[in-house]
Structure 1
Amino acid sequence: MKRAAKYIIGVMSGTSLDGIDIAYVKFNQTAANDFQILNAITIPYGKEWKSALKEGFHLSGEKLVKLDADYGIYLGKTILKFIKENNIEKVDLIASHGHTIFHNPTENYTFQIGNGPQITAITNIKTICNFRVQDVALGGQGAPLVPVGDELLFSEYDYCLNLGGFSNISFKENNQRIAFDICPVNIVLNHYVAALNLEYDNKGAMASEGNIEINLLNKLNSLSFYDEAKPKSLGYEFVSETIFPIIDKFNLSINDILRTFVEHIALQISKKIESNSEKTMLVTGGGAFNTFLMERLQSHTKTPLIIPDENIINFKEALVFALLGFLKDEGKINCLKSVTGASKDHSSGVVYEVESSKFPFSR
């Protein structure tokens, strides 16, 4: 008997603070890679939300709890608006990543805001969230989580590279899916162009006009993180406490900072892959639109870079979180120990069901 398709909304907010990615996905359940992105949108953050999320790293106590609740309400209303505007009639569940405020697995914690009960209450749809916490509790990095999607949805590629706030890569090694964060990307590039009231460096045009500061490049490339054994992951802490202070000591023009950091990104990624014209690497995330970054990366490797259609570039992470929600709802593994370093494969995520209107006991 053919199983019914499931319709899931995946929601993602990345560290680059571009906005909320929402993907409405149909999983046909006939094969692992049998899916369709039926509708998708990126809703840019306004100045207030962008500022609030960026400052969340510095909050604690009641203010942080309030931000979690407020952001959950905002997500719930945004998702509900997406459903209504697109006349979506069937949603089996919402899978929401939330927005990462803290990620420090070496200290046994990771924290994503976006209160799940608020989303469920507003949309009246089952919501699954907090996908990273259980993995950290099991000794894992809590990241990256997207490689489960690489394994099930994009296995025809030798490498799957995502260029978002950070770069992460996944590939098969000894018949196991291996994945790890490589280096910061848009979280750094966007930070410096923000001083010019720009959201990002369009196609890498500013970086292409800059010059490499070799001493800065050498300093960045010598950071100990790059020699650490995998699995490993990065968070805003690494950028704010390590990357920004190093760059700011050099007092460079923004173009030169961008040029140097683009070269740093390209070099670090190229070191993690086999340079082989027979292999292929799928590239997704906002960084795939950075033409200059793509040129610099391709110059360092013979492995062809495959840029998919824009729906996959823009919404791969939202798609994969929809998949993680689907797997959790089915009671199937959605976190791989070979990827995160957890003590075991497991099914992660916290489920918030729609509350029944019936009182369970007779009166």
Structure 2
Amino acid sequence: MATGSEADGVYFGLMSGTSMDGVDGVAVLFAQGKQPAVLGEAHVGFSTGLRDALFALQSPGDNELERAALAANALATRYAVCCHELQSMSGVSANKIRAIGVHGQTVRHRPEKGYTWQINNPALLAEMTRIDVIADFRSRDVAAGGQGAPLVPAFHSTIFGAKNETRVVCNLGGISNITILSASGTVHGFDCGPANALLDEWAQRHLKRPFDEGGHFAAQGQVDRSLLNVLLDEPFFEERPPKSTGRDLFNPAWLDAKLAGFETVSAADVQATLVALTALTLAREIERHASDCRAVYVCGGGARNPVLMRALQQALDETGVSGAPVLTTDALGVPPQQVEALAFAWLAMRCVAREAGNVAAVTGAAGERVLGAVYPR
């Protein structure tokens, strides 16, 4: 393995998150002492069949091992398509790419039981691309007693931190999480609760579309305060960090159980209330842990939902964090859709350099660890 500047070069980062709509990829040049330079980006969607297979694997079922293996093969094929698009956009040949950092698709996240599982076939991806692949970033942190998540705060600190100013970076993917970059230089972060996972589920049920584009469905409804209080009655929201979560908790069964007794609430009102749930749980955590923040910078798919962005701003204004604007990471020079994929390219670079990728204070691990498993080209 290389160390320090020997790890510089072009990396691909691939991220398919809990929304399961496809894979985002970036080609990025890392050079010591300089900000990462994005050379190209791509998005490759998942077929309905692959998306359904991934959703089905979120819950126990028959023949899981074979279904997971077949889904992993299909997933690796989509990753390879994304890599070929990145090569075309960046103009960098395969033999000039140091490595592909690929997250895989989380189907189980149970760090309290000592495991997290991101299905993937990195060996197949290496075979198809003829590029080194680095995968399985979370397992080492879990093995060291950590949550295995979130892993992006170390990266956020590198590119978004500022001296003498507290900033919050908020990822609105399937699950919401925040990174707190304090004025003193310390870094904290944790998952806060559901975001697009439940919003997309409800949109699929009632709009027959994978998500609520532009938040228009939610905008037609009103927040039902009684329902909101029931949704907020979840022990996870009161747990202290380090903490992480996923579809193991916030899934359709959880939502249906909470909706029992609220059958007369309109579908649009439920969507509006789910938006309020995401915004309020985030605002409360920011108030508890970063009330001095100067701004909140949003990335992930939720950054494209103006209704959710406005709800988060309103929730912050109603807490002790009034005056902190809600912006996207565009304001810091990185488009919201690039941040997560860029983070896994960075983690791959850290693995090549034999440098730690986690923040132990964030994940609860016994210490900093080099993350990732290498599959040579």
Shared fold (TM-score, shorter chain, > 0.5): yes
Corresponding residue number in structure 1 for 2:329: 308
1:41 aligns with 2:42: yes
Q: Is the 8 A contact 2:27 2:86 kept in 1?
A: no
Matched, 1:168 2:180: no
State the 1:276 CA deviation.
6.1
**Residue 140 of structure 2 corresponds to residue 119 of structure 1:** no
SS in 2 for 1:346: coil
What is the distance in 1 between the residues matched to 2:261 and 2:215? 23
- Once the two structures are overlaid, the 10-residue window that deviates more, 341-350 or 196-205, is 196-205
**What is the CA-CA distance between 1:133 and the residue it aligns to?**
0.9
Superposed, which structure 2 residues align to 1:1-363 within 5 Å? 5-31=8-34, 34-58=35-59, 59=61, 60-84=64-88, 87-89=91-93, 90-156=96-162, 158-172=167-181, 175-195=185-205, 196-240=207-251, 241-247=253-259, 249-251=261-263, 252-274=265-287, 279-301=294-316, 302=322, 303-309=324-330, 312-354=335-377
- Kindly tell me: are residues 244 and 144 of structure 1, through their superposed partners in 2, closer, same or farther at Cα, counting changes over 3 Å? farther
- The 2-side partners of 1:15 and 1:218 are apart by 25
Report the TM-score when normalising by structure 1: 0.91
Distance 1:306 1:70 in 2: 36
Which is worse superposed, 88-97 or 119-128? 88-97
Query: Which AA in structure 2 matches 1:220?
Result: L
| Conserved 8 A contact 1:148-1:334 | yes
Q: Please list the CA deviations of residues 232-262 of structure 1 after superposition, one character each: whole Å capped at 9, or x if unmatched.
A: 0111110124334213552232211111111
* Superposed CA offset, 1:5-47 (max 9, x none): 410000000111121001011112124xx11111102212221
Other structure's SS at 1:139 match? coil
Structure-1 separation of matches of 2:197 and 2:19: 5
1:85, 1:153 → 2: CA distance?
Answer: 23
**In the alignment, residue 239 of structure 2 is paired with which amino acid?**
E
Q: Which amino acid aligns with 2:203?
A: V
Q: Secondary structure at the match of 2:58?
A: helix
TM-score scaled to structure 2, two decimals? 0.87
Unaligned runs of 5+ residues in structure 1 are 355-363
Change (3 A) 1:46 1:311: farther
What one-letter code is carried by the residue in structure 2 that aligns with 1:201? Answer: D
Q: In 2, distance between residues paired with 1:172 and 1:2?
A: 25
Instruction: State the partner residue of 2:319.
Output: none
The residue type paired with residue 160 of structure 2 is F
| Residue type of the alignment partner of 1:41 | A
State how far apart, in whole Å, the 2-side matches of 1:2 and 1:14 are: 30
Conservation of the 8 A alpha-carbon contact between 1:77 and 1:123: no
Whether contact under 8 Å (2:72, 2:120) holds in the other structure is yes
Unaligned 5+ segments in structure 2 are 317-321
Which residue type is aligned with residue 179 of structure 2? Answer: S
State the shift of 1:312 in Å.
2.1
**Contact between 2:221 and 2:269, CA under 8 Å: does it hold in 1?**
yes
Cα RMSD (Å) of the superposition?
A: 2.2
8 Å CA contact 1:95–1:129 kept in 2: the answer is yes
Residues 264-285 of structure 1 show CA distances to partners (whole Å, capped at 9, x for unaligned) of 1111111112486871121111
Does the CA-based 8 Å contact 2:98-2:132 persist in structure 1? Answer: yes
- Aligned-partner Cα distance in 1 for 2:52–2:149: 25
Q: Distance in 2 between matches of 1:64 and 1:92?
A: 28
| Structure 2 counterpart SS, 1:229 | coil
Distance in 2, matches of 1:352 and 1:23, equals 19
Match of 1:234, SS state, is coil
Q: Aligned to 1:92, what secondary structure does the other structure show?
A: strand
- Could you list the per-position Cα deviations for residues 168-203 of structure 1 after superposition, in whole angstroms to 9, with x for gaps in the alignment? 001146753111000100011011111222222122
Deviations 1:303-356 (A, max 9, x none): 1112233952111000000000001110001011111011111111001112xx
State the secondary structure of the residue aligned to 1:236.
Answer: coil
SS at match of 1:64: helix
